[in-house]
Structure formats: structure tokens, C-alpha cells
Structure 1
Amino acid sequence: MNKTQNDHAQEGGFAKLDRRKFLIAGAGVAAASLLPHVSAAAQVQPGQSSPGGTGQGSLQQPPRQGRRRLGALEVSSIGLGVQNMSRKYETTVPYRPEMINVIRAAFDHGVTFFDAAEAYGPFEVERILGEGVAPFRDQVVIATKFGWNIDQNTGARLPGLNSRPEHIKRVVEAMLRRLRTDRIDLLYQHRVDPNVPIEDVAGAVKDLMNQGKVLHWGLSEMGLKTLRRAHAELPVTAVQNEYSMLWRGPEKEVLPACEELGIGFVPWSPLGVQFLTGWFDADTRFAPGDFRGTESRFSPENLPYNLALVELVKKWAERKNATPAQIALAWLMAQKPWIVPIPGTTHREHMHQNVGAVAVRFTPAELAELNKSVAVIKIRGQRLPDAVQAFSDVEAPPKR
């Protein structure tokens, strides 16, 4: 699900020409700091662990300029989610050659962290990403996810989840072919399978690591007990959960657990499925098939109240001479140095602007003020329909 966001949605926030000039300049500054061309003496190959191994100590080691650390894995401060490159929210299909161009332009602007999943498409997003990064595969980190019950021959979505060890291994072999690579840098369990002990999942991933086909692993939207069990079995590099100004659920338990265990955090939907870009208004309605129409936080009854958050973000965008999307991303990065957002887009301009968020900084007083203002706004409605939410916060069964 990682989810992710901008597409046509940021037009309203990018209208002012003076702001555009700033964004272009900001993206240039960001690119200079993010680009992976550093001295060989200082370089750690993407996808490889830096000295110090896993655990809390690895988070305390300063990453290179413009980079952040997920556990022992070093990535660009902002990644790129490619979920919508096969089908956008409103169900339209983007022009594939342009999606390749967006991926390659992201690399040119310093992005070294790309996020996909077998479920996106299904399969098609991994094919697009594999083609996109082929010229510079060894200079980037590819993350993808298994866990949904998808027929590996047809791509048909079958009921429920499937994290049986033999299925995981079959899925990874197909992923490697689609991604045109010999290893996956970061492999997540997309959702916890309630029928498979997490120790068995970790064992399958460990086998793949021993074969060099997987370098790091993570979990998404898991229960906290499952995270601890997984990490004890095989050190977890990153957790990927929804997190943004719009949905702050991870702050209560997940982020403290990640900090304690030395696990990095990757927010999916860091722009609130376009909400935080300033694109929505009280009259926004969604096309048939657009899953956002199923989220009650965007219902006609709740949306007008929730727009108070957008107004706050817009005020800070004016104050910091940035866009609403940049404020939302900069806020996430300011919460913890091991948080790496992965905004998605199908537009090169929006990608440039998202990368430019690294140039937006808050003083301690500004961050305290912004955090206080965000906390005052109570979001009405649920983030996901009950049928989808049921797959989050699941605990794996005990190992017998």
C-alpha cells in the first residue's frame, strides 16, 4: 500500500511564480547534497550495511550529508514511492516512458531510495522500476514487499495473505526477474500473515539473505509484539507504516519501539494521499474506483472540518516560502533523523519539488510551535475502511 501521492494534486500549491523560483533553487541545493558522488574513502555501497552492524548503535552513527540511516542501511533523505506509476488514484494509467523518465530524473536529483511492491499492479510497478533504475542499479536502494495472496502466474489477487516460507521464496525469484536485479536491498512483509509465525517468515528471509538475494528486511503495519519477535529472530532494518500530519498513529508506540530497537522508519502516504498538498477543498469528491472515496476522513461530512490542517500547512508554506507538500515532508523529517519519507508522483516537476523539501528547516522553536498547532487539530473519520484496517496491527501466531 505505501503507499503515495502527488500526481495532478499539487497544482494548487504551486501557483505562485516566486515560489516556483524558490523550489527550483531549493531542489538544486537538495540535489547537490543528496547526489551519491562522494569520495570512495567515505562511500558505503547502496544496499550494504555501514560499519557498526544493526541495533541502536547504527542509528547514532552520522550518515553522509544528504543521507539518512534506516538501521544500518544508508539512503537518500527522501525516497520515491512508485506505486502510482502503473495506475493513479483516479484509475487512469500514466504514460510508461514518462514514468521511466521520472525515476531517472529522481536519481539525477539525488534520490537513491525507490519503493515498490509486488501488489502494485500487481507486478507492473516492479517492472517499471526495474527498467527505470537499470542504468544505475548498483547506485540505488530498491525496496519492495511481499505478503498479499497473489497468483504468481496470472497476477490474480486471491483472498487474504500469504507469507508461507515457500511462497516468499517463489515471490522473491519473480521479483528479481521483474526488477532486473540479482538482489533486493530491502524486502518488507507487506502485512502480517495471521496464519504464519513471524519466526518462520524471518527464517525464509534469512535463507534468502544467505543466498545474497535479499540484503535487509522490514515489516509494514505490523503489531508491536510481532515487530519485537521478528527483530529478535532476524534484525529488522525498517518499519513502513502510514504516518503524516494527517495520521499520527505511529507516534504512540511504533516510533518509540523503533527508536529503542534501532530500526528506521519509512512513512507511507507522507502527503496524506494528496490531502496535505492543498489540492482538496470542501467540495472535493472522488471518481469511481478511487479508494480515497472509501476513507471517511474525506467524506462530505468530515472533510470540511479536516481542512483546518491544510490551512495550517498553507500558512507555514507562506511563512517558510515553500509549498504545502514541502512543509509536510520537512515536518516528517524533523521528527526523527531516522525517518525517510517516500512521496510518490508521476510528474517530474513534483518530484523536484519534493526533493527540495530537504532545504526546508525548522528551528527548535518553530518545530515546537508547529507540533503544538498540529496536535490541536482533531481529524474526523477513519484513515482506512474497516475491511482494510483489519490487515493492520495484526500479531503473528506463536511459533509451535
Structure 2
Amino acid sequence: MDFNDTPEEAAFRAKARAWLESNVPADWRERAAKGSIQDVCKEWQRIKYDAGWACLNWPKEYGGQGFTPMQSVIWSQEENKIAPPSAAMLVVGLGMTGPMLMVHGTEEQKKQHLPPMARADVIWCQLFSEPAGGSDLAALRTRAVKDGDEWVVNGQKIWSSGAHQSDWAILVTRTDPTVPKHKGLTFFIVDMKTPGIEPRPIKQISGAAHFNEVYLTDVRIPDSNRISGVGNGWNVAMTILMNERLAVGSTGGAGGIGASWESLFEMARTLEGEDGPVIQDAAVRERLADWYVREAGIRNVNARTISALSRGDTPGPEASISKMVIGPQKQNMASFAMDLQDMAGGIMDPKIAPLHAAFQQSLLGSPAGRIAGGTDEIMRNIIAERVLGMPGDIRVDKDLPFNEIPTGGKAA
């Protein structure tokens, strides 16, 4: 693959860079360090949208610009260098729900939901995981029962990022427990203000409360909010998860705040040790070089995915490679950075900690990235089976009707 820009791509890159340099808010890092990253990201998305730089490869009628996938990639490369990172509250909409609606949504659903999503006027969350399901999404028990032109939903979801601050949600439910677990699922979009939806924030080790458990009690969803056919929820969910892993793998290792390689390198270059800047230590340079090689590998894997996107294909299982590498790497880099900071590494107060405690926050937050969108173990299974073609694990419940799968000694 030729990674050099064509003359047309080089001209577009120069145009994008010039606009970014003139329009990125100069104080966004300081504001983000003070805890207002969500507001910063929403503000930046609206600036881009109003100037014609948001969702570049989306069709114009849905709030995009109709640019090529390669132009969108070039824009992202330049944006990641100096602009605010994508916040989780926007990734669920822009990186997951939007692409899913392009594939599975009706024309009415696309026109209603995509433009306000592109401008960050409507924030989305994901109602997938459940307390008893673990890493097996197909084991979900939230039920949806048809009642006229509506569906009545009862159940519980957990680890729903930003659910307490979101306007709409993507929801996968079980509509037929008499068929194998992957075949009895149906997918919906739902207004979070619908009666019966109760988000409860979960306190995290970092002190934040970004995750939620969400209770759904007799929630009535119109059939017009169903995505794709009844029983096709698993295929829709897979489209979501492939795009989620692509979004995490594409943005998790570059730019922004926290434990990025660039910020770690800059810290090592400027941080004074006993014998001068710590980057003069061969062991430090060795670790930095190893992580740089890993990030270069991620970029090359992503380039393969970009080629698929340019052909109009859906992101494939190779996106799992980037996600599996990014999660542990961010955690390891944050831990290493805190070691380099010596006693200052234990300071969490952003007002006095080095780099506003970005690495400290990253260390506490990065384990979540190794779970969200599929655990490291699930990623390894996907890579082994669907990328390398190795035999799959034995799954004794694969072809059983869901209501015949034993659970805790009782039938489901």
C-alpha cells in the first residue's frame, strides 16, 4: 500500500490543516483538564458542523459533506494532532449509531436522527451489556413483547456510558426465547425520556460516575423505532460492535489528552531526572521505541481497514487487533509515566500534578477500555477464529433454544 498523498490529497490535507490551525479553541486543553471535556467536545463538534467539517464522509442529506473515505481519514489525522479528542458521549453516536443507521436504518430514521447527531445536538448511549451476561452479549435477558404498534420492554442494562446525560439510546432486546440465543434478538432506538427508563450512575475508582446501570420497566417503544427485522438484532449489533472497535482502535492511540505516546515522549524529553532529561536513559528510550512500534503497527492495521471502507465495505474483524493492543498499551504507558514522575506520580489534583494529572486519570480509566466493546479475551477469540482461521471454542449452548439453556441450575 502506498502511504504517500496524491497531489489532490496533499492539497486537501493542507486545506484541512490551515482551517484547524485557525479554528481549534486555544484553551481546550486547559478547560478539559478542569473537568469540562464533554462540553469542550460538544462545542468543537458544533464548530466543525457549522463550518462544513463534520462527518465528512456522510452523505450531505444526513448532515455530512459527501467526501471520500480517504479525505475523512486525512482530516482525522490532522485533527488528532491539535484538536480535542472524541469523547465517549459522541463516539456512541458518530462512531457507532450513525454508521449503523446508514446500513440498517429506514430513510425516515436516517433523516430524523443523523443531522442532529452530526452537530452533537442529540447525545446517544448504548444499552447492550447486562449484569448476568458477562462478555456474552447474546445471553441478554431484557425482553421486548409486541403490543399492537408498540413493544413493551422490561430488563436491566449495565456499564452504559453517559446514559444519565444522553438523549437517545441504541437497545438490543430478546423477542423470542424459543430459538437459539443469537436468533431471538431485536434492535431498537429509544428516547431516553420515555417513561420507565431509569439510569443510575455507578461510582468509579477515578471518582467519576460515567458508567450507569439502566432499569427498563414497562417501557413502550413504537415499532417505527425498530431497526431492521424482528429477530435480526444480532446482525445489527455486530455492525455496531465492528464500528465501535474501529473507533476505539483508530482514536485510542493518538493525539488528545491522557496516555498518548506523543504526550509521554514529550514528558520524557522535558522531565528532569538525576542526570538530566529522563529520555537520556537507554531503558526509557527502549520502552518508548517499543510502544512507538506498536502504534505504527496499529496505524498499518487501520490502513487496511481504511482500504476496505474506501470500497464501501463494513469494518471487519481486524478492527479487534487495534482494540486489543490499544487498551493494555494505554494502561502500561500511564503506569510508566507515573513511575517517571516519581513521588509526583501519586498526585491526583490536576491543579498541581504534572500534566494536570492526565496520566493518573488515564491509569484509572484505561482498564475500562479493555472491557468496553469486548474484553481482551473476546478480542483474542475473534482474532484467532475470524482473522487467523483457527478452530472456534466449543460452545455447547450455540444451537439450544435460549429458554432451554441452564442457568444457576434452572432453565432460562
What TM-score comes out, normalization by structure 1 length?
0.30
TM-score of the aligned structures, taking structure 2 as reference length: 0.29
* Larger proportion of helix: 2
Larger Rg, first or second structure (1 or 2): 2
Q: Which of 1 and 2 has higher RCO (CA within 8 Å, sep 6+)?
A: 1
